[in-house]
Structure 1
Amino acid sequence: MTSVQGTAVDIPTEDGTADGYLAHPGDGSPRPGVLLYMDAFGLRPHLRSMADRLAAAGYTVLVPNLFYRHGGAPVFELPEFIDPRARPEIFEQIGPVMQSLTPELAMRDADAYLRWLADSPLVAEGPVALTGYCMGARLSLLTAGTFPERVAAAAGFHGGRLATDTPDSPHLVAERVTAELYFGHADEDPSLPPEQIERLEDALAKAGVRHRCEVYPGAHHGFTQADTAAYHQDGDERHWAALLDLLKRTF
């Protein structure tokens, strides 16, 4: 097993400084870069452990605190085990913060995160990969379409609102994507109904994007997050297999 080093980092952006977490193999040699986009609960121990697992597989992984405009991580006080049904007030806090991260702001930040990775001596030269969870899946798709020359592969898991009928829907960037994409959708996810799954698939197919979209049966929105009530072990294991497969094919 590759030894892993994890450190807190600061990433300068146009609007301030984003705190983040960087995980990489302990030998310090440059490895392919992966930008990991968090879910709405934010940068916390579970996401750091996900980054460590990717680093152990041979990658340099950056997990920025996407909500840095509202303070350093943790932005919200979270219990060790997150069950929004038991604590509905969690979403009352998170909702406005999540909505304040507009696609325009998120892509301005994405530029900074990608530049930071490109400048890091721990990251191999060339385009990087993305993986995103919940809201991060949406950002993964948007980033792949906004910075095609810098993204070689992008994955998203239990993403919501990926193909809405609004003018800023993520699926509308499909024609600019050059990366290979993979999406693992949650089964019966209210934030991604069947018509959106179909609309996303159609957009990617029409644009000629190399992609694979799969629905994970029995898995709920948030199924990869082991510190939440939505966790689904089979879905999570399938996600790791699909993600590592995509990264192997890419790098």
Structure 2
Amino acid sequence: MTDVQGDVVDVPTEDGVADAYLARPADGRPRPGVLFYQDAYGLRPHLRSMADRLAAAGYTVLVPNVFYRLGRTPVVDLPEFIDPGADPTIWERLGPILAGLTSDLVKRDADAYLRWLAESPLVADGPVAITGYCMGSRLALWTAGAHPERVAAAAGFHGGALATDAPDSPHLEAPRITAELYFGHADEDPSLPPEQVARFEEALTAAGVRHTCEVYPGAHHGYTQADTPAYDREAAERHWAALLELLKRAF
């Protein structure tokens, strides 16, 4: 397996500086760039290990702290094993933070993240890919729609609220997206009911977006996150296979 180096880097944005985790092959050669969007629990050891695994497959992976306006990582102190069922205050603390991260802010920050990747000597020339988890799936879609010339592929896993009635619902980005998309929905996910799954698929098809959307049977919201009760090893490994195949097609 390829040796990986991980570093903390700072990404200048219009509103300050976002701390981020950068994982890449240790040989220092430029590799295709991947923008990795976190879930609501934030940048933490498990996400760093996921970024390391992706880097070991031959990519330079940037995981920004998207909550940087509220401080550097960790923005919210969470236990090593995150179980909201055992501690309801977790979502009481996270809810307002998520609500404050609007689609406009996401798109503005995405410009900074993509510019950082474009300027890094550790990233190969050309467009990049995105992968997002839970809320990160929405961020991936908003970014792909706002910056089609910079995004070759985008993936989202156990994303919620992808096709709502909100004026900035992520599915409305479909006409602007030129990237190939892959989405692995959780079967047991109240944040993405069947009617949203259908609406999302219909929007992508109508816009002519190259895409694959799959529902992972029996998987719960958060199935890739090994530091939570939602983790499902079989579904998580399926996600890795799908993501790596998407990246191979993109680069």
Report the TM-score range of the alignment, normalised by the length of the smaller protein: over 0.9
- Match status 1:164 vs 2:145: no
TM-score of the superposed pair, with normalisation by structure 2: 0.99
| Counterpart secondary structure, 2:7 | strand
Give the SS at the match of 2:161: coil
- d(CA) in 2 for partners of 1:52, 1:68: 21
Q: Deviations over 1:192-228 (max 9, x none)?
A: 0000000000000011100000000111000000001
Deviations 1:136-194 (A, max 9, x none): 00010111111000000000000000000111100001011100000000012111000
Structure 2: 5+ residue runs without aligned partners?
Answer: none
Matched, 1:240 2:219: no
Give yes or no for the alignment of 1:78 onto 2:81: no
2:144 aligns to what? 144
The equivalent residue for 1:250 is: 250
SS at match of 1:200: helix
Equivalent residue, structure 2, for 1:126: 126
Q: Distance in 2 between matches of 1:85 and 1:91?
A: 10
1:46-65 superposed Cα distances (whole Å, 9 cap, x missing partner): 00000000000000000000
Letter in 1 for 2:126: G
Amino acid at match of 1:50: M
Q: Which residue of 1 aligns with 2:210?
A: 210
1:158 and 1:216 map into 2 onto residues whose CA distance is 9
Which amino acid counterpart does residue 113 of structure 1 have in structure 2? Y
Deviations 1:64-113 (A, max 9, x none): 00000111001111111111100110000000001100000111000000
| 1:24 corresponding residue in structure 2 | 24
Amino acid at match of 2:39: D
Aligned length: 251
Tell me the TM-score normalised to structure 1 length. Answer: 0.99
Which consecutive aligned stretches of 4+ in structure 1 deviate over 4 angstroms post-superposition? none
**What is the root-mean-square deviation in Å for CA atoms of aligned residues?**
0.5
Residue type matched to 1:104 in 2?
D
Structure 1 regions of 5+ residues with no counterpart? none
